[in-house]
Structure 1
Amino acid sequence: MGVSPWIIVFLFSVLLQGFATLADTNIQDTSGLNGIAANWDTKPSNWVGNDPCTDKWIGIICTGNRVTSIRLSSFGMSGTLSGDIQSLSELQYLDLSYNKKLGGSLPPSIGTLTKLQNLILVGCSFTGEIPKEIGQLSNLIFLSLNSNKFTGSIPPSLGSLSKLYWFDLADNQLTGGLPISNGTTPGLDNLTNTKHFHFGINQLSGSIPSQIFSSNMKLIHLLLDNNKFSGSIPSTLGLLKTLEVLRFDSNAQLTGSVPTNLNNLTSLAEFHLANCNLTGPLPDLTGMNSLSFVDMSNNSFSASDVPTWFTTLPPLTSLYLENLRISGEVPQGLFSLSSIQTLRLRGNRLNGTLSIADPSNQLQLVDLRDNAITAVTIGAGTPYKKTLMLAGNPFCNQGNSDDARCKATGQSNPALPPYKTASNCAALPPTCHSNQLLSPNCICSVPYRGTLFFRSPGFSDLTNSSYFIQLENTMKTKFLSLSLPVDSISIRDPFVDINNNLEMSLEVYPSGKVQFGEQDISDVAFILSNQTYKPPPTFGPYYFIGQYYSFANGVLQTSKSKKNHLPLIVGVAVGGAAVVAALLALTICITRRKKGSPKQTEDRSQSYVSSWDIKSTSTSTAPQVRGARMFSFDELKKITNNFSEANDIGTGGYGKVYRGTLPTGQLVAVKRSQQGSLQGNLEFRTEIELLSRVHHKNVVSLVGFCFDQGEQMLVYEYVPNGTLKESLTGKSGVRLDWKRRLRVVLGAAKGIAYLHELAEPPIIHRDIKSSNVLLDERLNAKVSDFGLSKLLGEDGRGQITTQVKGTMGYLDPEYYMTQQLTDKSDVYSFGVLLLEVITAKKPLERGRYVVNEVKGAVDRRKDMYGLHELLDPALGASSALAGLEQYIDLALRCVEESGVQRPPMGEVVSEIERIVKMAGAGAPIAESASDSMSYYANRTPRHPYGGDSPSDYSGGGLPSTRVEPK
C-alpha cells in the first residue's frame, strides 16, 4: 500500500503554511517599493503583500527576483517620489508619466541607480532643480523630464551622460544658459552621441555658445524655441550635417545674421526662425533640397528681392515669410511646386502682376495681403479655386473692392470641419453609458485619452485627412504588433497652438472588453511616453500627455485603506492556505483521472491527425505536430470575429488570411482554405509537419491548425509588414534602401541555411520567392509557406526524385530537367531573389528573364558592372551602394546552371555578412518599419527618429507575422 493521498495533502498544506510568509522578491526591492507607495495617496490595486515579482504587481517588471522596471503612467497617483527609490539598485526603466498630481522635488538619491536606462517623468508636476546627481547615471539612454515645473539651470553634470540618445527638458521653467565643458566640468558639447536636444518652451537665456556644436555630433533634432536666448546664431551650427529639424523661433532677443554656411545642412527638413530679431540678408537656402517647412517670418532682415531659391525646393510644403520687406514679382513657379500646400507672404513689398497658372493640386492657401500687387492673372491652365488673400494690395483699390479675394478671408471653398476619425457604424449607432464613448468600430467602451503634440510637422494642410489616417493606422499597427488589446484609434480636432505645435486629441479604444485593465494602461501609455511608437516621417518629433484613466469598480485603492486591512489579509491568507492546498491537490487528482497525462493528450492529438486520409511527408505514419495546437472551427471563428471583413489581411489561390487575437492576447494570422483552392490536403499536412519541427527567428512560426467541420486552416504568428515582394513594388509602404535590403536578404539566407544545415532531417523549401519572405516589425526577414517543402530524409541522402513543383521564374532549371531535387535548388531560387531585390523586377515577365538580363548586361570592367539601367532607381546613387559588385557576383554564383557550381547556403550567409560589413549595414539597435515608411514619392524621405534608435523598451510583446497566401 502506498502513502495515503490525504496524508500527502496534509503535509503539503503544512509546508505551504510554513512558506506563506516568505517571498521570492529581493527584500531590499520590496522595502523600496513599499516605501515609495507610502508617499502616494493611490496605488495599483494588487500592490499588497511582500512579493511584487511573484505576485506580478501592476506596472512592475522583474528579472529573476529583482525589480528592473516601473511603468505607472496615467494611474492618477498623487504625492511625491520618495528617496526609497535608491533601494531599487537593479532598476533600468522608471516611467511615472501623466500623473499630474505627482510632484515635489526629485530625490538626489535617484543618482545611485547606476543601471537606469530610461527616466521618463512626462506631464507630472515635479518642481525644484533637476538633480545634478542624474549625471551619475552612466547607462542613461532616455531622459524625458518635459512638461513639469522644474526650475533652475540645466546641470552641467548631464554632459557626462555619454550614452544619452533622447534628451527632453522642454516645457518647464528652466533658466540660465546652455552649459559647456571647461576642462573641469562637463557640458552639453560632450553629448556627441545624443540625437535629440528638446529644450523648447522654457526661460533659457544668454548666448548660444559656439563650442556647443561640432562635426562629431549626431543631432537630428535641435529644438530651442520659445526661450529668451540672445546674441547671434553661432556659425558652428553649419557643422551639424545630420540635422533634420531646427527650431530657434520665438526667441525675441536673438539677433545678428544667420550663418552663411547654413546651407550645409542638406538633411534639414523643418526650419523655424520666426519671431526673432535676426538681421542681415535673408538666408540663402539654395541646395537644401530636403526642406519641407520653412518659417522665417517677423524678423529684421535687410530688404531684398525675391530669392532665387524660392522655386528650387521640390519637397517644400509650407513657406512662411511674413513681414520681411521682400520685393519683386512672385515667381509663377512657386505655385507649381508639386508638394506646396501653404504660402504665407503677407506684409512684404511684392509688386507687379500676380500670375497663377497650373497651380499644384496640393496648394490650399496663398496669403499675399498687405503687399504692392497691382494686377492678377489667372492662367489658361487649371484655375486656382482655393484660398487666395489679397486685401491691402493696390489691386483691391482699382475697382476690385468687391472681389472675394480682397475680403479679409479671401476666396476659398467652404471651410471644412476639423478632422475626426470616421465611424464605421452601418446602422443606427448604439447609445453608450455616460462613462463610455463610441469607438470608430461602433463599439461602446472607455477609451484611454490624451493629447498628441507634434513639435515640427512637415505639412500645413490640416484638411488633408490622409495624414491623420496614416497616423491612426501606424499607431494601431504598433499596438497590435506588441499584442496589446487595442480595437481602434481615434484622432480629432487637430490645430496649431500658440507655440507652433500641432495638437490633436487621441483616443485609444480597448478590444474585447468595455475598458482597459490596469496592466493594459501601463503598457499602452508606455508605448507613447517612451517614444516606442514612431509616427509617419512627415509628423516629426512628438510628445504625448495622457489623461488619468479611471478603472472600473474602484480598483485603484488608497494606501491608507490598504494598510488598515493588511493584518486581516495576512491572517486570511495564512489561515486559508491548507484549504487552498487541499483543493489544489484534489483538483490535480480529478483532472488527471479525467484527462490523463499530457503525453496521453498529445497522443490523442497525434491519433486524430493520423486519421486524415492523406499521405504523410515523414517516415512515420503519424504526422509530427510537435507543439502545434489543434483549434476547433468555433475557436477560430471567435478570434477572427466571425472571419469579418475588417480582419481580412490577404487573399491568394489558397484562400483568405485573417488577423485574429487569441484569448492570451497573442496576435495570429489564420489562413483559411476555400473550396477549389490551389493547396490540397498534402500541402496542408506538409506545412503543419514541417513548421512544427523548425524553430528559428528567420522562419515563420506555426501556432496551430484546424481540421474541423470540413475546414482546413493554419494559424501562424502575425507579421505586420507584409512580404518582401510588396515592399519592392511599393505596395506595403515600407521603403527599403540598400542597407535594409542587405539585412533582409541576410535574414532570409539564415532561415534557409537553418533548414538545410541544422534542421533534423534537413528540409528543402522548394518555393523560395519574394512573396514567401515576410517582414516583421523590425524588418527582420521570415521565410514562410512550406506547403511544397520536402525532407531530405534521415538516411542523409542529398537528393530526391520527385515531381517538379515551384514557381516559374524562380525554378531551378536543373531540377526542372532531371526531376532531381537537392538543396542547391533552393540556392538557385535564392539567387533569383537576390537579383529581384536589386532590380525590383519580376523574375519572369513578358518573356524577359531577370537572370538572362543580368548575365547579358554584366561588364566587370565598368562601375557597378554596367548594370545602371537594370538597377532599381529607388536604390539611389551608386556611391551609396557599397558592396554591390560582390553582391552581384554572389547572385550569379547562386544561379549557375549546374548545382555543383552553386555555393551552399552556409557559404551564402557568410558572404552576405561580409557584404553587410562593407556597406556598414550592421543591424541597428531598434529599427522599426515605421522608420522606413515612405509616404510621398516627391519628398526626400526623412526619418525623425533615425534608423538606429535604442531598443524598443517595450518590455515584451510577441514577435509578429502576416502570412502571404499562395
Structure 2
Amino acid sequence: MNLYVTIGGIWLLIYLAHVVAILAFTNTDDFAALTALKSSWDNLPPNWNGPDPCVLNWEGVICTNSRVTSLKLNGMGISGSQFGDLASLTELEFLDLSNNLGLKGTLPSSIGELKNLTVLMLIGCSFFGPIPTTIGSLKQLTYISLSSNNFTGLIPPSIGNLSKLSWLDLSDNQLNGPIPVNPGMDSLGNARHFHFSNNQLSGSIPPELFGPNMKLIHVMFDNNRLVGNIPPDIGNVKSLEVVRLDRNLLNGEVPEILNSLGNITDLYLANNKLLGQIPNLTGMPVLSYVDMSNNTFEESDVPSWFTSLQSLTTLVMENTQLIGEIPVNFFSLPHLEKVVLSNNKLSGTLDIGSSDNTNLTVDLSSNSITNVSTKAYKIKLSLLNNPVCPGGESSGVKYCTAEKDNSYIILNSCTLTSCSSDRVLSPKCSCSHPYTGNLWFFSSSFLDLGDSSYHNVLEQSLLSAFKGLPVDSVNVSHPSVDINSHIQYQLQIFPSGKESFNRTEIAILGFLLNRQNFSLPSFGPFLFIENSYCCFSDGVTGAKKSSNTGAIVGASVGCVLFILLLCVGIYAFRQRRSAKRESDKNNPFLLWDSYKGNGAVPQLKGAKWFSFEELRNITNNFSESHCIGSGGYGKVYKGTLTSGEVVAIKRAQQGSMQGAAEFRTEIELLSRIHHKNVVSLVGFCYEQGEQMLVYEFIHNGTLGESLSGKSGIKLGWSSRLKVALDAARGLLYLHELANPPIIHRDIKSNNILLDDQLNAKVADFGLSKLLGDTGKGYVTTQVKGTLVSI
C-alpha cells in the first residue's frame, strides 16, 4: 500500500512540476500573438500546437530566455491577409516571411512596435499598398528587404531614422515619387546597399544621397523614371563598387568626377538620354563590366581608354555614336569575354591582330566596316549588316551571321538516367526532391553565359554557405539575361541522406539565400524567388527518442497538455466567436458574401461583385500601360472583361477610401442609375483592402479634353449644344426621376464623358448627395465640388 502511495506521490509531483514549468516558461503575450496568427493564416506548420512554442519547438519559431526572438517562415506556403497581434512579439529580432505568395494585404502600421527587430524580410509575397511610415520607428534594423511585392506610394522619409541600416532593398515593386532626402535616405550613413530596381521612382537624383558620410557600395536605381543630371556629388562616395542608373530618363553630361571612383567594378548607364562626350573611365582600374548603350553622346572615335582597362570582361556600347576603327590591341585585353558595339558608325578595316582568345564574343553588327584584315581569327565575331557582308547571312561567311551565346549545359555523368515519380537526379547521382527557385542577380562582372567557370564558382560558393545543413549538392542551370540586363539562374538544392527537406530546413535555406551573408565572386547581390516546395519530410527537427520512463512522463505531460490546450481552445473559441459577432455588426457586406461566386448581388440592379484577382488580371496587375487617368481619389484603369466588354476601373488609393458602410451605400446608389446620359455602374470590388468601382468605358474621354484639344475631337457649335442638352437630361434624371433623387454637386467638363457618337454622359458621383439623406426635402448648403477662380 505504501508503495502505491509513494508512486502516486511521485506522479503528483511530476504533474505539479510540469504545470509549474509550463507556467514559468510560457510568455502569455507571445503565445497569444502566435495563436492569433494561427487564426489568421493558413498552412502554418502542423506542429504549431500546445501551450508553449518555445518548449515544444514550433517550426520556424526560435526563442531566447523563453521569449520569441525569431520567426523564420520562408517558403512554407502560408497564406492570409492579416497580421493578427504580431506587434505583441516585443522581443522579436528576425522576421522572415519571404516566398509565401499567399501572404497579401497591406503592411500594418503596428509593425513599428517591434522595437528590437534587426532583420525584416518579406521577399516574394503579395503585399500591396504603402509602406507604413512607422517603419522608421524600428531603430535596431540593419537589414530590410521588401522586394518583389506590389507596394505602392512613396518611399517614407522616416526610413532616414534607421541609423544602423546597412541593407535597404525595395526593388521590384510599384513605388513612385521622389527619392526622399532632408529628411530621408541621406541620413543613412551606415547603409551599404540601396536596391531600388524596377519601380516607378521619379524626379531627379538628389545630390545629398552621395554625401561624404555615406558608405555605399551598391547603388541600384535602374528601370525607374528618374530625370535630370547624374549629380557630381557621386564622386564623394569612394567606396562605391556597383552603380546601376540605366533605363531611366537621365540627361546631361556624365560628370568627370565619376572617373575618380577607383573601386567601381560594374557600371550601368545604358538607355538614358545622356549627352556630351563618352566619359573617360581610365580611373577605374578594377572595372569589369560597363554598359553605356543607347544614349545620345556626341560622335567620337573609339576612346583610347578602352585598351587601358586590364580588368575588363564586358563592354557594351551599342548605339553610342562611335566612329572610325577599333584599335587592334583592344582585342588582346587579358580578361575580355564579351564586346557589343553594334549600331554605331565604325568603319574601315577591322584588324583583330593575333588574339587567340577563344572565349571572346564580339558583336559589330550594323556598322560600316568594309574589310577584315585577319581571316584566321579564333574569336566569335559577327559583322552582319556591314558592307563587308553584302549578302548577309546567305553569304555563307562565318562572320556574316549573328553570334549566339551558348548557355552552359550541365553534363550528367550518372549511370542512372532517370528517377521514379517526381524525384530529381542530383549531381551526385541520388534521387530526391530538391528545393528549387530562381536567382535574379542585380549585377555581375560578366555576360558570357557559356563560361562554365562562373557556374562552378557559383555552385561551390552556395554549397559553402550551406555548411552544417543537410545539403548534398547544388545545381545551377539555364542562365539567361532579361530585358533589364539581370542574369537569372535556375537553382536546385538537394537534400543529403534523405528524399526531402523538412520545413525548418527550407526556412533556414531561404533565409541564408536572401540574407546573403556570404561572398559570390563575380556576382553581385541577388533576389531568390522559390518554387513552392512539394514534399516536406515528416517529423520535427531535433526530436529525440525517449526511454520507458520518458514515455510514462510523456503520457502524463500529454494529459496535462491536452487539458491546458482544451482550456485555451475553449477560451480562444469564445473570444473569436465574440469578436466575429462584433465584426459582423460592423460589416455591411456580410449578407453579400454568399453571392460572390455567381457575381450578381441581390440588393443591386445589374451591378456585379468582381474579385480582386479578376480585376488585377484584366489590368495586367494595374500596370501603368492600362492607366487612363488619376486624381485625388486614386487611378482609373482600362480593362476588358472575359465577356469582351471594355470597362473603366476606378481604384481608390488608401487615403481616399470610405468606410465600408459608406462604400456599400454608394454602390447601392449607383446601381439604381439607368439612363442613356449617365455613366452606368457595371460592378465593384471590395476585398483585400481595396475599394474599386467598375464603370462602362466611354471611348472619347471627357468633354474637357475635347474642348482643350487634347483628345483631337473638334466640337462645332451644334455638337456643343447637343452635349449641353445631353448633360442637362442626365442631371434632370438624377434630380427628378432617380429613386431617391440625387444632387451631383460637382458638374464640370471633366465629369462629362463623350461616347462614340458624341453623346454626353454625366459621370463621377464621388460628391453626390441623396435628396433624402438627412430628412425629406432637405438639401445641404455646404460648399462642395471644384472651385474655379475667374
TM-score (norm 1): 0.55
Shift of 1:552: 4.4
Q: Counterpart in 2 of 1:147?
A: 148
Contact 2:366–2:383, Cα closer than 8 Å, also in 1: yes
Structure 2 counterparts to residues 564-579 of structure 1, below 5 A: 576=559
**CA, structure 1 residues 428+531, in 2 after alignment: closer, same or farther (shift >3 Å)?**
closer
Match status 1:125 vs 2:110: no
Match status 1:423 vs 2:419: no
Name the structure, 1 or 2, with higher relative contact order (CA <8 Å, separation 6+). 1
Shift of 1:362: 5.6
SS in 2 for 1:62: strand
Structure 1 residues 598-644: Cα deviation after superposition (integer angstroms, max 9, x where no partner)? xxxxxxxxxxxxxxxxxxxxxxxxxxxxxxxxxxxxxxxxxxxxxxx
Structure 2 counterparts to residues 333-482 of structure 1, below 5 A: 333-359=329-355, 361=357, 363-378=359-374, 383-397=376-390, 402-405=395-398, 407-409=400-402, 416=406, 418-425=407-414, 427-429=415-417, 431-480=418-467
**CA, structure 1 residues 546+579, in 2 after alignment: closer, same or farther (shift >3 Å)?**
closer
Aligned amino acid, residue 492 of structure 2? E
* Match for residue 485 of structure 1 among 451, 461, 470: 470
CA distance, structure 1, for counterparts of residue 213 and residue 512 of structure 2: 31
Shift of 1:550: 2.9
Shift of 1:101: 1.1
Structure 2 counterparts to residues 330-729 of structure 1, below 5 A: 330-359=326-355, 361=357, 363-378=359-374, 383-397=376-390, 402-405=395-398, 407-409=400-402, 416=406, 418-425=407-414, 427-429=415-417, 431-480=418-467, 483-536=468-521, 538-552=522-536, 576=559
SS in 2 for 1:472: helix
**CA, structure 1 residues 67+552, in 2 after alignment: closer, same or farther (shift >3 Å)?**
closer
Q: Counterpart in 1 of 2:267?
A: 271
Contact 1:70–1:93, Cα closer than 8 Å, also in 2: yes
Q: Counterpart in 1 of 2:288?
A: 292
Match status 1:327 vs 2:323: yes
SS in 1 for 2:16: helix
CA distance, structure 2, for counterparts of residue 137 and residue 465 of structure 1: 43
**CA, structure 1 residues 362+187, in 2 after alignment: closer, same or farther (shift >3 Å)?**
farther
Q: Counterpart in 1 of 2:48?
A: 47
CA distance, structure 1, for counterparts of residue 556 and residue 434 of structure 2: 35
SS in 2 for 1:94: strand
Shift of 1:399: 11
SS in 1 for 2:116: coil
Contact 1:475–1:489, Cα closer than 8 Å, also in 2: yes
Structure 1 residues 736-772: Cα deviation after superposition (integer angstroms, max 9, x where no partner)? xxxxxxxxxxxxxxxxxxxxxxxxxxxxxxxxxxxxx
Q: Counterpart in 2 of 1:259?
A: 255
CA distance, structure 1, for counterparts of residue 207 and residue 78 of structure 2: 43
Aligned amino acid, residue 528 of structure 1? L
SS in 2 for 1:395: coil
Structure 1 residues 665-696: Cα deviation after superposition (integer angstroms, max 9, x where no partner)? xxxxxxxxxxxxxxxxxxxxxxxxxxxxxxxx
CA distance, structure 1, for counterparts of residue 176 and residue 99 of structure 2: 24
Aligned amino acid, residue 389 of structure 1? S
CA distance, structure 2, for counterparts of residue 368 and residue 149 of structure 1: 40
Query: Aligned Cα RMSD in Å?
Result: 2.6
CA distance, structure 2, for counterparts of residue 445 and residue 60 of structure 1: 27
SS in 2 for 1:274: coil
CA distance, structure 2, for counterparts of residue 424 and residue 111 of structure 1: 53
Shift of 1:211: 1.9
**CA, structure 1 residues 136+574, in 2 after alignment: closer, same or farther (shift >3 Å)?**
same
Shift of 1:398: 9.3
Structure 1 residues 66-94: Cα deviation after superposition (integer angstroms, max 9, x where no partner)? 11000000000011241511100011000
Shift of 1:149: 0.4
Q: Counterpart in 2 of 1:60?
A: 61
Aligned amino acid, residue 29 of structure 2? Q
**CA, structure 1 residues 70+310, in 2 after alignment: closer, same or farther (shift >3 Å)?**
same
CA distance, structure 1, for counterparts of residue 18 and residue 115 of structure 2: 38
SS in 2 for 1:470: helix
Q: Counterpart in 2 of 1:34?
A: 35
Contact 1:133–1:157, Cα closer than 8 Å, also in 2: yes
Q: Counterpart in 2 of 1:232?
A: 229
Shift of 1:111: 0.5
SS in 2 for 1:43: coil
Shift of 1:287: 1.9
Q: Counterpart in 1 of 2:690?
A: none
**CA, structure 1 residues 31+502, in 2 after alignment: closer, same or farther (shift >3 Å)?**
same
Q: Counterpart in 2 of 1:204?
A: 201
Contact 1:452–1:505, Cα closer than 8 Å, also in 2: yes
CA distance, structure 2, for counterparts of residue 262 and residue 493 of structure 1: 35
Q: Counterpart in 2 of 1:243?
A: 240
**CA, structure 1 residues 23+443, in 2 after alignment: closer, same or farther (shift >3 Å)?**
farther
CA distance, structure 1, for counterparts of residue 209 and residue 53 of structure 2: 44
SS in 2 for 1:102: strand
Aligned amino acid, residue 196 of structure 1? H
Q: Counterpart in 2 of 1:69?
A: 70
CA distance, structure 1, for counterparts of residue 208 and residue 21 of structure 2: 61
Shift of 1:265: 0.9
Contact 2:196–2:221, Cα closer than 8 Å, also in 1: yes
Contact 2:72–2:511, Cα closer than 8 Å, also in 1: yes
Contact 2:15–2:556, Cα closer than 8 Å, also in 1: no
Structure 1 residues 301-334: Cα deviation after superposition (integer angstroms, max 9, x where no partner)? 1111111101000000010111111111101111
Structure 1 residues 87-131: Cα deviation after superposition (integer angstroms, max 9, x where no partner)? 000110000000011010111111011111000111101101001
Shift of 1:577: 5.6
Match status 1:306 vs 2:307: no
Aligned amino acid, residue 276 of structure 2? G
Aligned amino acid, residue 515 of structure 2? N
CA distance, structure 1, for counterparts of residue 57 and residue 39 of structure 2: 19
SS in 2 for 1:11: helix
CA distance, structure 1, for counterparts of residue 561 and residue 99 of structure 2: 43
Aligned amino acid, residue 251 of structure 2? T
Structure 2 counterparts to residues 722-737 of structure 1, below 5 A: none
**CA, structure 1 residues 485+420, in 2 after alignment: closer, same or farther (shift >3 Å)?**
farther
Structure 1 residues 165-211: Cα deviation after superposition (integer angstroms, max 9, x where no partner)? 00000000000010111xxxx21111121000000100001111122
CA distance, structure 2, for counterparts of residue 69 and residue 400 of structure 1: 60
TM-score (norm 2): 0.66
SS in 2 for 1:394: coil
CA distance, structure 2, for counterparts of residue 334 and residue 77 of structure 1: 54
Aligned amino acid, residue 308 of structure 1? S
SS in 2 for 1:508: strand
CA distance, structure 2, for counterparts of residue 400 and residue 52 of structure 1: 68
Structure 2 counterparts to residues 804-953 of structure 1, below 5 A: none
CA distance, structure 2, for counterparts of residue 370 and residue 399 of structure 1: 11
CA distance, structure 1, for counterparts of residue 539 and residue 46 of structure 2: 5
For this pair of structures, how many residues does the alignment match? 549
Contact 1:264–1:288, Cα closer than 8 Å, also in 2: yes
Contact 1:340–1:360, Cα closer than 8 Å, also in 2: no
Segments of structure 2 that go 5 or more residues without pairing to the other structure are: 541-553, 564-790
Q: Hey, which bits of structure 1, 4+ residues long, moved more than 4 A?
A: 1-5, 16-21, 398-401, 552-556, 571-575, 577-580
CA distance, structure 2, for counterparts of residue 399 and residue 148 of structure 1: 45
Contact 2:356–2:379, Cα closer than 8 Å, also in 1: no
Aligned amino acid, residue 159 of structure 1? G
CA distance, structure 1, for counterparts of residue 93 and residue 285 of structure 2: 41
Contact 1:69–1:93, Cα closer than 8 Å, also in 2: yes
Structure 1 residues 763-811: Cα deviation after superposition (integer angstroms, max 9, x where no partner)? xxxxxxxxxxxxxxxxxxxxxxxxxxxxxxxxxxxxxxxxxxxxxxxxx
Contact 1:83–1:107, Cα closer than 8 Å, also in 2: no
**CA, structure 1 residues 362+540, in 2 after alignment: closer, same or farther (shift >3 Å)?**
farther
Contact 1:152–1:175, Cα closer than 8 Å, also in 2: yes
SS in 1 for 2:200: coil
Aligned amino acid, residue 487 of structure 1? D
Contact 1:13–1:577, Cα closer than 8 Å, also in 2: no
Shift of 1:384: 2.2
